[in-house]
Chain A
Amino acid sequence: MSLWFSIIVILVLIAIPWVGAGIPGIQTLFGVVIPYIAIAVFLVGFVLKVLKWAKSPVPFRIPTTSGQQKSLPWIKSANLENPHNLAGVIGRMLLEVLFFRSLFRNTTTAINEGDKVTYGSTKYLWAAGMAFHYGFLLIILRHFKYFVDPTPQFVNWLQYMDNFFQIGLPIIYLTDIVFMAGVGYLLLRRLFDAKIKYISLPSDYFPLLLLIGIGTTGILMRYFTKVDIVSIKELGVGLLSFSPVVPEGISAVFFIHLFLVNCLLMYIPFSKLMHMAGVFMSPTRNLVNNNRVKRHINPWNYDVKVHTYEEYEDEFRDVMKGAGLPLDKEPAKEKE
């Protein structure tokens, strides 16, 4: 049901620009107004969300330590897995953000003939995650050619790399394949791995389907239905330079593509997609494991009721005396 709900929502989202773009005069809405709204919602929502997180303090320093601590000088410490200084934290975060270090930890053990234990890896999730995220990043960067005139040099360079194998006509971008394969795998495992399916919500299927929708319309435009790239670039450059114009002759597929992208932008601040910011803020990853070296301050470190030694000795003075333990205050004998 979760899946169907998401599919229906996506279809509705596709239908809106499809129908809408045909109505004369309304193209400004899809080409200019909605994109600006989407960017505004994204930026404001994103910042507000991060501020909201940042407003809650980090009362305790509780990094998850995944390697040897720094203790005695002759024991080699694992600064990237269990950072003892800022450099270690930066390294750990880079590994986490750029290479999904934690996901990479998945290993599996096999016992082969001769009872030898070997470790293989079950890194499909990691590989698909990397494929999707990097594919997406490169595609976004490549899209700068539609917003900036003249096309920046790095985009040309990216495009050259992306076309490296010169397959197909128009030449197929490797990133398109990698991106779609990554997203496809992430969706399929939600559908076919029973335990993942069990935990999946519409809010898990929806972004994947949205991305597939965006990817598919993009691919359609590049390889199948020819679109007027010059007009699209005119629109893009106009948007970015705050002097928007909507040129004639832009096809409906483009408006669907753009609308879905806008939906994604607006969806991000309200969803789990905020993990893109959250990953930087996770207190189990971004703190130095130096609790015993440097005190961490808790802003709401309140007073609590404690049981003092005085109260303790008052209660047990006689038995302590009997057991020959030293006392702070001698028992008052005359009162017995």
Chain B
Amino acid sequence: MSSEENLKQEDLLKVDYKPAAKDWQDPTIDFEAKRGNWCYSGVLDSLDYLDMPHPEKKWAPTDEDWLLPENWKEIILDGLRLRLDRFRTLRLFMDTCVRCGACADKCHFFIGSGDAKNMPVLRAELLRSVYRKEYTLAGKLMGKMVGARELTIPVLKEWFYYFYQCTECRRCSVFCPYGIDTAEITMLVRELLAEVGLSIDWIVTPVANSFRTGNHLGIQPHGFVDSMEFAADDLKDIIGMDVEVPINKKGAEILFIIPSADYFAEPHYYTLLGYMALFKEIGLDYTFSTFASEGGNFGLFHSHEMIKRLNAKTYEEAKRLGVRYILGGECGHMWRVYHQYMSTMQGEQSNLEVPKSPITGTVFENAKTTKMIHIAEFTADLIKHGKLKLDPSRNDHWTPTYHDSCNPARAMGLLEEPRYILQHCCNNFVEMPDNTIREKTFCCGSGAGLGTDENLEMRLRGGLPRGNAVKYAQDKYNANILLCMCAIDKATLPAVCDFWAPGVQVGGVHEMVGNALIMTGEEERKVDLRGQPLSGKEGAKDV
């Protein structure tokens, strides 16, 4: 064979790269080929426990038949009408989008995948097209020409696929000229899907567990006590002092609520040790609760109704224990609920008092109604008043950078408090680039109930923008720990970092506080809360 011929065969080398240039109104999805992108369906026992509708038997997204009720379309359309009448947000967001595209490249899933339907505008358009068909004159008359689509089973499946690819992080909403909030649309579509029995297990089982045992892992009261005692023992090994952990203590001044992962998972656990050390040092009269042993509200990822069902425990327990007010730990969506939904849902709490720091006397006017403050607000106030003795050099083995968790950033505006704390507890604090932090922070890619195993590829893809900024801080400043204030972040950012910025650990703000805190009567610290030797004490024995 001459090389002349050889070259003529060049066409054979051409790999077929023709894109599937379908227009977006085609809803078909090949679930089998898209493994790694979707989550398993809800377990029937969990749905039963919650009195939620579900099919006769468990279905899988790869099944042809999703076992929908016969009148599924009626249920969805009635549900949509009801929600249009109940939520001005929904009605406005259906009507006012001009498809300017400002949001298009703001979604971490779009940035990581290039999948057009991950552009917030199109994600919303999946619902908007059905809205047009059913509720607008133009849509009824002109159909596809005005972007109206019939609600069909493929459309429903497409909803399931894409609305469980949104982490409700609200980054797009920051850039939208009309404030259109895709999280709101995602929440409402998920509600509709749940009404015809479509849900994912990493949401409904944690919800059922939280409903029954108080926490999403289903840990029963004695398990909770064991974990806390175990943590107290660990802390004792580090500081050389006994630590008391009050649980279900009536008459305590403060009820302290944390996400349950704090006492079960790593690296959350070190933050828990940080809280315990802090409270011991300032002698806080507080109590944990086994009944309200989960701050995280998985109901937020399911429906407004479910938020309220789970959230009711907080005030009920505060009232039962007779505390004055509530303090909340580091968590993201937990704070979305506590800040934006709780008082509306549960009403005024006349039995509680406006939070007042027993140490500094500061009255937290910003929580006058809910009577619940964030631990970062509490600790920043302590530091400001000079009530804590801190030795930031104990964190010298860390070069921390701070990831603003989506909900505290974009649903509260809790931006400076954690930074203030970190600047007093660490010598080496560095920031990631501006357009990846604060209100422009990139999501971990696993929020809103997507932090599970079967969709790991999708999560890592969604975590790319965050991981990439971490990598930058690692290369540039030798950052070696990514701090955050969200239980989902702490659970899922380690995977993101292992993959995109190997070598960077993940931790919590109060872990750094616990490390730096000089406690009255403590032994000389040789290790940090992780049991790692402190800088300059590398020869010390690991405990």
**Chain A residues near B (Cβ < 8 Å):** 2, 5, 49, 52-62, 64-72, 74-78, 81-82, 96, 100, 102-103, 105-109, 115, 117, 119, 125, 129, 189, 193, 195-196, 198-204, 270-275, 278-279, 281-285, 289-298, 300-302, 304-309, 312-313, 315-316, 319-320, 322-326, 328
Contact = CB atoms under 8 A, between A and B. Distances in A.
B98 interface: yes
Contacts of A78: 413
Given A291-B370, A320-B290, A309 B92 contact: no
Nearest to B336: A62
Q: Which of A117, A270, A279, A282 has the most CB of B within 10 A?
A: A282
Given A62-B184, A298-B344, A325 B248 contact: yes
B463 to A, nearest CB: 19
A281 B90 CA distance: 12
A322 to B, nearest CB: 6
Interface stretch (B36-44, B175-183, B271-279): B175-183
Secondary structure of the B side of the interface? helix
B174 A66 contact: yes
Contacts of A53: 88, 91-92, 95
Interface string B214-247: 1000001110011000000000000000000001
Interface stretch (B253-261, B432-440, B445-453, B511-519): B432-440
A163 to B, nearest CB: 31
Contacts of B248: 325-326
B367 A66 contact: no
A274 B213 CA distance: 48
Q: Which of A119, A316, A324 has the most CB of B within 10 A?
A: A316
Nearest to B343: A295
B102 A71 contact: no
B119 A199 contact: yes
A322 B340 CA distance: 38
B182 to A, nearest CB: 11
Contact of B174 (A59, A71, A105): A105
B309 A304 contact: yes
Contact of A70 (B96, B178, B222, B366): B366
A96 B89 CA distance: 17
A109 to B, nearest CB: 6
A119 B137 CA distance: 45
A74 B247 CA distance: 34
Contact of A66 (B97, B145, B212, B439): B439
9 contacts: A2-B145, A109-B434, A117-B433, A278-B178, A283-B179, A293-B369, A302-B305, A312-B212, A319-B221
Contacts of B476: 115
A199 B104 contact: yes
B415 A278 contact: no
Given A199-B125, A284-B181, A326-B248, A289 B413 contact: yes
Interface stretch (B60-68, B312-320, B391-399): B312-320
B210 to A, nearest CB: 9
Secondary structure of the A side of the interface? loop
B414 interface: yes
B412 interface: yes
Interface stretch (B69-77, B193-201, B376-384, B532-540): B376-384
B365 A307 contact: no
B390 interface: no
Nearest to A298: B344
B380 A291 contact: no
A158 B172 CA distance: 38
Interface residues of B, number: 105
Given A67-B413, A323-B225, 16 more contacts: A53-B91, A53-B92, A62-B184, A65-B410, A65-B411, A75-B417, A106-B175, A125-B101, A199-B125, A278-B95, A283-B88, A285-B179, A289-B412, A291-B343, A298-B345, A326-B248
A65 B225 contact: no
A28 B88 CA distance: 42
A65 B413 contact: yes
A82 B413 contact: yes
B100 interface: yes
Nearest to A202: B145
A195 B170 contact: no
B101 A71 contact: no
A307 B174 contact: no
B138 interface: yes
A200 to B, nearest CB: 6
Contact of A100 (B136, B138, B177): B177
Contacts of A70: 366
Given A72-B362, A275-B178, A307-B313, A65 B92 contact: no
A319 B90 CA distance: 46
Nearest to B101: A196
Contact of A199 (B96, B122, B176, B320): B122
B24 interface: yes
A279 B177 contact: yes
Contact of A62 (B89, B178, B290): B89
A77 B377 CA distance: 13
B249 interface: yes
B222 A322 contact: yes
Contacts of A306: 309, 312-313, 316
B211 interface: yes
Contact of B177 (A56, A96, A198, A202): A96
A164 B99 CA distance: 35
A107 B435 contact: yes
